[in-house]
A and B are shown apart, each in its own frame.
Chain A
């Protein structure tokens, strides 16, 4: 193995890139490091990212973030990993200036006038007394010094306007949830903590409490007393990091509410299935079986709405059809009144969101976007990078938990707002830099490496083609539904154009998403019989590519025109203007539809992006 390979490895590593950038371009280095945030990178790499970020000067970090916050950690344990993860998690929005109290020096810091903590003038103080510290690494199950902590918090609150965040002790590794001495100690400790928080809050001292149990349940092997022995870590470093990420959401919520609005897709997010195909009565909202995930998410959004978070519906659908679900389905927890904007149409979602936020007078950077389609999420990320795009899991059953875990819709309880309100250091965003990072919808599509693979309809794909024809209601030009036998006959007629289309882009292979069948006429033209596109493939230009494939086929056979007829139905509005958008000229009306024509010699139809290739079978990698 020679050095060259090692160097190449190094160059690919984000850490190595960030390290190289750190001195010359701190902002770029922070962007690279922020990319590792919560990502599924090896934990040691995550730690390296945290460490590198901590070496970048606060002033440089503050230039990148929109806000700054002075955050102090005091307690009886080593908070290095917790702090690091918090700082990394916040890096692009809030630059955290962090004070770390002396080990076990919390009482002095909170009680003594002119202490290091007081001189730091924190905005937020995180108090974390870990169980391992309170019990000498689990060896002494003595009552905790509750009065001392309460007195210290009261004294500090009387002198400072900082928010107090109190992380409760973690269970001991020996806790079983049953009746061991460790369990009794832990329960008594938490009961005392709960009572203390209530007393403080009753006296107007607002203490936000965080029970770490809910964070720890997400981290396998979180209990690791050996790390206490070596480094006074209250739990495994990866659990400390998870705690740090959770604290980041609290710090962010206190510094500036991150989310003012949730822009939410409808089909397969608020209900199961496509309302355009199933109809308002057919979408899945059954709370007793597989529909409960959608309804749970609605409950969460309803709560957010009640807490003052605006809801924006962002769906590619026929508006009246989507509204009908809200109006007619009694299982719906959300009503139309819960929405501040109802952007349901066929325009790109980024464009609709722009319209909504400007009418609501909020920034794109305060919007959380929920959509089950990876394509829509990536398009939003590319076109509106300020928008917070959440990766929804494939199973709707997990939607609500994933959204809740971000804590973005939580609002810390504010009982004494006047006393607590903090001026944040809001600064003008560096608009220029942000705009440079933007893509247009067109550029985004160009970046997708769209490849449309045309396959003649035949035995291999007949089942899928028949299924597409049977169930596609929205992007269906003529609404003809050929049975499999008829399809097979069309496919084997030599003069008939009968193709289906597989869509591949950099997100992966969507499989067969479109069908186009056209018959020669005695006028020398070719007439579109059937054109359908799965709604999964909307907005990725496949429909234009399909027409262009037909055009090339027709040109090769000296057909002069392509003709087509749009036959309106209750559901196929999305395709109403499609032929016009592709450059077809309207030539008149018939009893059932609108006639269009395209002169093959004009060249490519409008709207085509990416590559159109012919393939008998799905493409195999070039190496095979």
Chain B
């Protein structure tokens, strides 16, 4: 079984088309070349679909970096924490 964190990392790799991408809490959109407003939505969609959760508008808007995203996932019971 993969851990939630590995699953999240796989989703990042798939969405941003980078098989070597490794997550760290400080990683933000500016650090990933293909992180655009469109791929950000794709990321949200993929996470919602994989973990069967639903982020609120505020959560979607407030995700400035990977750490924020982990916190939001944690609120939805996904143990992706660092």
Contact surface of A with B, Cβ cutoff 8 Å = 1, 6, 10, 15, 19, 42-44, 47-48, 51, 78, 80, 225-227, 229-231, 233, 237
Query: Once the chains bind, are A230 and B45 in contact (CB under 8 Å)?
Result: no
12 contacts between A and B (CB under 8 A): A1-B6, A43-B49, A44-B50, A51-B39, A51-B42, A226-B55, A229-B60, A230-B40, A230-B57, A230-B61, A231-B37, A233-B41
Query: Once the chains bind, are B57 and A44 in contact (CB under 8 Å)?
Result: no
Which listed residue, A15, A225, A230, touches B41 by the CB 8 Å rule? A230
Query: Once the chains bind, are B60 and A230 in contact (CB under 8 Å)?
Result: yes
Q: State A10–B41 Cα separation when bound (angstroms).
A: 22
- Most A CB contacts (10 A, CB to CB) among B2, B11, B14, B19 go to B14
Chain A: interface secondary structure?
helix
Q: State A80–B38 Cα separation when bound (angstroms).
A: 8
Contact surface of B with A, Cβ cutoff 8 Å = 1-2, 6, 10-11, 14-15, 17, 19, 37-42, 44-46, 49-50, 55-57, 60-61
User: For A1, what are the chain B residues with a Cβ–Cβ distance below 8 Å?
Assistant: 1-2, 6
Query: Once the chains bind, are B61 and A229 in contact (CB under 8 Å)?
Result: yes
User: For A230, what are the chain B residues with a Cβ–Cβ distance below 8 Å?
Assistant: 37, 40-41, 44, 57, 60-61
Across chains A and B, which 4 residue pairs bring their CB atoms closest together, nearest first? A44-B46, A226-B57, A229-B57, A230-B60
Query: Once the chains bind, are A48 and B14 in contact (CB under 8 Å)?
Result: yes
Which listed residue, A6, A48, A225, A233, touches B15 by the CB 8 Å rule? A48
Nearest CB of B to A225, in Å: 8
Query: Once the chains bind, are B2 and A43 in contact (CB under 8 Å)?
Result: no
Q: State A230–B43 Cα separation when bound (angstroms).
A: 13
Query: Once the chains bind, are B42 and A47 in contact (CB under 8 Å)?
Result: yes
- Most B CB contacts (10 A, CB to CB) among A15, A43, A44, A231 go to A44
Nearest CB of A to B80, in Å: 16
Query: Once the chains bind, are B37 and A15 in contact (CB under 8 Å)?
Result: no
Which listed residue, B19, B49, B56, touches A226 by the CB 8 Å rule? B56
User: For A233, what are the chain B residues with a Cβ–Cβ distance below 8 Å?
Assistant: 41
**Chain B minimum-CB-distance residue to A5:** B2
User: For B57, what are the chain A residues with a Cβ–Cβ distance below 8 Å?
Assistant: 225-226, 229-230
Query: Once the chains bind, are B17 and A227 in contact (CB under 8 Å)?
Result: no
Query: Once the chains bind, are A47 and B6 in contact (CB under 8 Å)?
Result: no
User: For B10, what are the chain A residues with a Cβ–Cβ distance below 8 Å?
Assistant: 6
Query: Once the chains bind, are B38 and A43 in contact (CB under 8 Å)?
Result: no
User: For B42, what are the chain A residues with a Cβ–Cβ distance below 8 Å?
Assistant: 44, 47-48, 51
Q: State A1–B2 Cα separation when bound (angstroms).
A: 7
Q: State A43–B42 Cα separation when bound (angstroms).
A: 10
Query: Once the chains bind, are A15 and B49 in contact (CB under 8 Å)?
Result: no
Q: State A257–B69 Cα separation when bound (angstroms).
A: 47
Query: Once the chains bind, are B41 and A237 in contact (CB under 8 Å)?
Result: yes
Nearest CB of A to B74, in Å: 20
Query: Once the chains bind, are B14 and A47 in contact (CB under 8 Å)?
Result: no
Q: State A6–B13 Cα separation when bound (angstroms).
A: 12
Query: Once the chains bind, are A19 and B17 in contact (CB under 8 Å)?
Result: yes
Q: State A131–B40 Cα separation when bound (angstroms).
A: 24
Query: Once the chains bind, are A231 and B38 in contact (CB under 8 Å)?
Result: yes
Q: State A15–B15 Cα separation when bound (angstroms).
A: 11
Check A47/B61 contact, CB under 8 A, given A15-B14, A19-B17, A226-B56: no
Check A43/B60 contact, CB under 8 A, given A1-B2, A1-B6: no
